[in-house]
Amino acid sequence: MMEKIQRFGGAMFTPVLLFSFSGIMLALTIIFKNPMLVGSIANEGTFWYNSWSVIESGAWTVFNQMELLFVIGLPIGLAKKANARAAMEAVVTYLTFNYFVGSILEHFGKTFGVDYTGEAGSGTGLKMIAGIKTLDTGIIGAILISAIVVWIHNRYFEVKLPDFLGIFQGSSLVVIIGFFAMLPIAILTAWIWPKIQVGIGSMQGFLAASGVFGVWLYTFLERILIPTGLHHFIYTPFVFGPAVVEGGITRYWMDHLNEFSKSTEPLKKLFPEGGFALHGNSKIFAAPGIAAAFYVTSKPEKRKKVLAILIPVTLTAVLAGITEPLEFTFLFIAPVLFVVHAFLAATMSATMYAFGVVGDMGGGFIDLLAKNWIPLAANHWQTYVIQLVIGLAFTAIYFFVFRFLILKFNFATPGREVDDAADVKLYSKKEYKEKMANGGGIVMEGANQYTEAAAIYLEGLGGSDNIATVNNCATRLRIGVYDESLVQGDTAFKEGGAHGVVRNGKAFQVIVGLSVPQVREQFENLLKMNENTEGDGQK
């Protein structure tokens, strides 16, 4: 069950990867349309203003079609075969579901306590999705329907029908089953979801009123669950869903960014819910402190090597907001440091919130600049000075706390390994090619710089015959195996550049980094090649 939940969480991250760029582009258009920042050239009606309005309309794509992106994203990550067809099936079935819901409310809306005659929009509980006026179930509805379609696809896509019904098998059969399944689900949704919307409204009030402690608890859970891969379930309802504000913090923030930039009211008063999106500060300010502690506590003869490892992962954390490569460098050898990290990250966010810092700050420094500091600096620079002071203070706190704990408990952090010969090479590129040649003289088409790492991970996971499922999220290659005893130790995977391996029964997560999509592609190519080779051998 944990493996399935982790795969589900990883699949949810597929569309989330698109939000960062779109958010930055939106922020830039709002900056360039603000006369306070660029002068009278940005007055409404000018060529400059109209040109940036065109760009802005395109930048809203991801946010306006958020539900459809999650509907498409889940099959890509969860369908066992024919992922592209599964994505098509999910879209068709999701649209069918919304047509059903819209029609039910049109004819029986009063029965379910829904006024369907009004315009769809904020506060009505209704929304236009792909031109369909329907209940606003947000990403929750999208994920639920898509998950149902993936289950139907995995179970019935390869079912063989009699020849005279052959036209109805494959994707057609999945959509047919989905069609009939959506009708009762649509009725249940029309009946239950309006009550859930009331509950969400109450929860939003509770969380907003929970103040500093609520922000602390949210950030702590978001960090501490990273090793399990379940942190997606914490931040997604807040940042992209209705947990604290309709449409999610990211959408609401971008909708009102221009308004906030012109107001002189404190940001915390304008948008107190923004305290639940401060978790990116730990990515920006914690990473340098942790890296510095690792460097100064490493053995002098190993500091150059440690520095070479720390610089890229620290820059990745600070600039892009991807912290897993850094965090997993110490998670496995000193788990207590990760608990301390989660505690400090939560305390940092809570402290900033107590001093009035709010916004959409879930990413790295580039995200922070584009979506917060630059567009709002004119009237809210004092808030960001406070944020910077608190952040740098926590950088120092991280450094001294981590340095103290590493030395006190003699943790084997990078550069302090007990066994200096632990870094044993598994395969070189030459050795890999020789191994492939000895296996039958096959040269794999499409091989590139990621093939070697993929081959090392495949070997470390017990070979092709031991691979049950393949998936990935932003930085991890998620693999299900048949026999976990065949999987090698972390040292084998580190030879491919991995930062570590999360082990949970038959579920394994290889911490690859930002190149994980390319590594996964080569990993799957190797699986297909080995499958074809075995098939030829059997023939």
pLDDT-derived band at 533 (thresholds 50, 70, 90) equals low
Helix H or strand E encompassing 425 = none
Nearest to 353 by CA among 387, 396, 381: 387
- 458, 473, 477, 526: the active-site residue: 473
The dihedral through the CA atoms of 346, 348, 354, 359 has a sign that is: negative
Mean pLDDT of 415-436: 47
Predicted local confidence at residue 43, as pLDDT: 86
CA 502 to CA 478: how far, in whole Å?
9
Cα–Cα distance between 354 and 391 in angstroms, integer?
A: 13
Report, as an integer, the average pLDDT of 253-273: 91
Q: Where does the pLDDT of residue 428 fall: very low under 50, low under 70, confident under 90, or very high at 90 and above?
A: very low
H, E, C per residue of 38-72:
HCHHHCCCCHHHHHHHHHHHHHCHHHHCHHHHHHH
Q: How far apart are CA 110 and CA 207, in angstroms?
A: 31
In the three-class reduction of DSSP (H, G, I as helix; E, B as strand; rest coil), residue 390 is classed as helix
Q: Which residues contact 325 (CB under 8 A, 6 or more apart)?
A: 313, 316, 317, 475, 499, 511, 513
Least confident piece of the model among 198-212, 216-230, 519-533 = 198-212
Percent of the chain residues past pLDDT 70, beyond the cut:
87
The pLDDT of residue 7 is: 64
* pLDDT tens, residue by residue, 357-366: 999 998 889 8
Q: CA 394 → CA 139, 156, 284, 343, 402, distances in Å?
A: 34, 53, 10, 12, 12
Confidence at residue 513, expressed as pLDDT on a 0 to 100 scale: 78
Q: What is the pLDDT of residue 351?
A: 97
500 catalytic? Reply is: no
Q: Check whether 432 has a pLDDT greater than 70.
A: no
**Whole-number pLDDT of residue 6:** 58
Q: What count of other Cβ atoms lies within 10 Å of the Cβ of residue 58? A: 12
- How many Å apart are CA 409 and CA 412, to the nearest integer? 9
Name the pLDDT band for 439 (thresholds 50, 70, 90). very low
pLDDT score of 538: 47
Count of other CB atoms within 10 angstroms of residue 198 = 12
| pLDDT reported for residue 3 | 58
Average pLDDT on 289-302 reads 91
Are 248 and 282 a contacting pair, CB within 8 Å? no
Q: What is the mean pLDDT of the chain?
A: 84
| Number of C-beta neighbours around residue 439 at 10 A | 11
